[in-house]
């Protein structure tokens, strides 16, 4: 009996190479400025165009500044990459949403909110966090530059079929526990290699009760467990989210699409290569202390000790804590922080801004904290203003920046200085990820907001 993953994969296989990969048809290719230039160069060298240009959407996000977007980009490398994407999109006849275009934003935020990603699709981008789109009930995964060129040229990609895993989370989430906390909790239990080689389907009552934004956050972080991708079967939440969106089907086509989407679920007797279960009530607000997303603890817990660790694991653990300036058995609660970042393709959606605002409402930003609040897209920005969240945030001492990947990664102006602590809603806390020497504590928008008003790591449940 087939899993949801099998159903979508099998329906997109064009042919299978004997003892090799499958040739998989791709419904949607997203391109940003970082991984696409070499692919376009390859097409030019071969003198060919894009096979199905209408299936490809381009927008800059990694290198874009989050202020003064009406002025030329100052950094020459960033400027060149952004300019090159615009030229390539024009030369090859592709849809392009540049800076200040109201359809621009982080590509993994824009795709779902514009209805460009739909259930049952195969979706790829030269970016590991393409797994985000799996929340729509799509088969979405990151690919390399040579594969981007392959999709441009043929609308297909060669892929070995991953194994399947189902992670079931049943029960009710506690106060202040979000999809971000679910993901960080799973990684703390499974490690960052616990799902390597698998495509994960998330199931269970706790997942069904997540909003679309929550599911997008969860699937975004699948890659951090080593998974090839993550997905949630489409249901009434998915249908309600997609209804009326710009590129969603309309009229009769909508009814037909919904009927098809309802078939997209794992059969009752589907066999997965691996099954894992968690209890939602065991999860509390999470925060990371180390240099990979699996090094996380409940907000009230102490950093682990090296007791019972192997020599290799202890060396790696010690190196990580040394970089972070932290100690085994230390409590993070009350730890002074310097920066707060709300945004990224992980937590830059409207729900994340609502969550952050709900905690800072009527309070003031701590004087020692520099806060960067960056919407994932211009659509999110417009919704923030429509709901008046901008006024509440301004009153509390926060300003909203312009859309982009921002401080998720050190590819633009928003870098955390060396040695400074950042409570960040992004997806990675690797050494130097937010800037050379930056120390990143990954957390949810609730936890980031609590830190922003207290100036220290705080339990967000005290403010809810």
Domains of the chain: 4-274 (3.30.499.10), 286-463 (3.30.499.10)
Residues in the chain: 464
What burial class does residue 74 get, using C-beta atoms within 10 Å of its C-beta: 0-12 exposed, 13-18 middle, 19+ buried? exposed
Is the distance from CB of 408 to CB of 345 less than 8 angstroms? yes
Q: What is the pLDDT of residue 288?
A: 98
Q: Please determine, for residue 246, whether its predicted confidence score (pLDDT) is greater than 90.
A: yes
Q: By C-alpha distance, which of 217, 223, 242 is closest to 106?
A: 217
Q: By C-alpha distance, which of 413, 356, 348 is closest to 375?
A: 348
Q: What is the pLDDT of residue 52?
A: 98
Residue 46: both structure tokens together: 């071969």
Q: What is the pLDDT of residue 333?
A: 98
Percentage of the chain exceeding pLDDT 90: 100
Is the distance from CB of 298 to CB of 263 less than 8 angstroms? no
What burial class does residue 33 get, using C-beta atoms within 10 Å of its C-beta: 0-12 exposed, 13-18 middle, 19+ buried? buried
Q: What is the pLDDT of residue 96?
A: 98
Q: What is the pLDDT of residue 17?
A: 94
Cross-strand pairs, 442: 424
Furthest-apart CA pair in the chain: how many Å?
64
Please write the tens of the pLDDT for every residue from 207-244. 999 999 999 999 999 999 999 999 999 999 999 999 99
Mean pLDDT of the chain: 98
Is the distance from CB of 304 to CB of 38 less than 8 angstroms? no
**DSSP codes, 362-422:** TS---TT-EEEE--SBHHHHHHHHHTTHHHHHHHTT--B--SS-GGGSTTSS--PPTT-EE
105 DSSP assignment: B
Please write the tens of the pLDDT for every residue from 406-439. 999 999 999 999 999 999 999 999 999 999 999 9
Q: What is the pLDDT of residue 279?
A: 98
Cross-strand pairs, 163: 198
Q: Is the dihedral of CA 109, 114, 115, 117 positive or negative?
A: negative
pLDDT confidence tier of residue 1, bands split at 50, 70 and 90: confident
SS3 content of the chain, % helix, strand, coil (to 5): 40, 15, 45
Distance (Å) of CA 204 to CA 67, 170, 411, 413: 41, 5, 37, 41
Non-local CB neighbours of 44 within 8 Å, separated by 6+ positions:
none
Is the distance from CB of 154 to CB of 418 less than 8 angstroms? no
- The CB-side HSE value for 237 (13 A sphere, CA atoms) comes to 16
Cα distance between residue 412 and residue 434, in whole Å: 10
Tell me the mean pLDDT in the region 178-182. 98
Cα distance between residue 77 and residue 218, in whole Å: 32
Q: What is the pLDDT of residue 2?
A: 94
Cα distance between residue 288 and residue 284, in whole Å: 13
Tell me the mean pLDDT in the region 143-163. 98
Q: What is the pLDDT of residue 312?
A: 95
Q: The tokens 């065991």 sit on which residue?
A: 282
Compute CA 454 distance to the chain's CA centroid, rounded to the nearest angstrom.
27
Is the distance from CB of 417 to CB of 437 less than 8 angstroms? yes
Q: What is the pLDDT of residue 458?
A: 98
Is the distance from CB of 155 to CB of 131 less than 8 angstroms? no
Q: Please determine, for residue 62, whether its predicted confidence score (pLDDT) is greater than 80.
A: yes
Cα distance between residue 446 and residue 159, in whole Å: 38
Q: What is the pLDDT of residue 177?
A: 98
**DSSP codes, 50-74:** -S-GGGEEE---SS--SS-TTS--S
């Amino acid at each position: 009996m087939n899993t949801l993953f099998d159903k979508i994969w099998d329906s997109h296989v064009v042919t299978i190479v004997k003892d090799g990969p499958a040739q998989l048809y791709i419904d949607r290719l997203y391109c940003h400025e970082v991984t696409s230039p070499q692919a376009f160069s390859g097409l030019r060298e071969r003198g060919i165009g894009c096979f199905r240009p209408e299936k490809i959407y381009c927008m800059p996000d990694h290198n874009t500044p989050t202020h003064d977007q009406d002025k030329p980009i100052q950094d020459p490398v960033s400027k060149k990459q952004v300019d090159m994407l615009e030229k390539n999109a024009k030369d090859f006849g592709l849809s392009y949403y540049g800076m200040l275009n109201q359809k621009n934003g982080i590509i993994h935020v824009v795709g779902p909110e514009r209805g460009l990603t739909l259930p049952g699709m195969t979706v790829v981008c030269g970016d590991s966090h393409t797994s985000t789109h799996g929340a729509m009930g799509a088969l979405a995964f990151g690919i390399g530059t040579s594969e981007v060129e392959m999709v441009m040229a043929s609308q297909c990609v060669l892929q070995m079929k991953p194994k399947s895993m189902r992670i079931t989370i049943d029960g009710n989430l506690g106060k202040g526990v979000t999809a971000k906390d679910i993901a960080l909790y799973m990684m703390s239990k499974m490690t960052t290699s616990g799902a390597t080689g698998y495509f994960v389907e998330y199931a269970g009552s706790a997942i069904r009760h997540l909003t679309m934004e929550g599911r997008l956050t969860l699937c975004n972080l699948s890659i951090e467990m080593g998974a090839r991708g993550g997905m949630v079967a489409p249901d009434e939440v998915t249908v309600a989210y997609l209804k009326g969106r710009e590129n969603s089907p309309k009229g009769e086509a909508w009814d037909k699409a919904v009927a098809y989407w309802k078939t997209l679920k794992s059969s009752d007797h589907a066999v997965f290569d691996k099954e894992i279960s968690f209890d939602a009530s065991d999860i509390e607000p999470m925060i990371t202390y180390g240099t990979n997303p699996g090094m996380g603890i409940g907000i009230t817990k102490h950093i682990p000790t090296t007791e019972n660790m192997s020599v290799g694991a202890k060396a790696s653990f010690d190196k990580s804590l040394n970089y972070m300036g932290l100690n085994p058995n230390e409590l993070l609660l009350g730890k002074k922080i310097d920066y707060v970042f709300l945004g990224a393709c992980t937590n830059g959606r409207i729900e994340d801004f609502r969550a952050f605002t709900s905690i800072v409402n009527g309070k003031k930003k701590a004087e020692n904290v520099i806060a960067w609040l960056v919407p994932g897209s211009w659509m999110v920005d417009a919704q923030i203003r429509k709901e008046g969240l901008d006024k509440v945030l301004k009153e509390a001492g926060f300003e909203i920046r312009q859309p982009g990947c921002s401080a998720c990664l050190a590819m633009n102006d928003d870098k955390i200085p060396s040695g400074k602590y950042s409570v960040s809603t992004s997806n990675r806390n690797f050494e130097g990820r937010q800037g050379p020497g930056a120390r990143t504590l990954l957390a949810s928008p609730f936890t980031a907001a609590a830190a922003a008003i207290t100036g220290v790591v705080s339990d967000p449940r005290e403010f809810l």
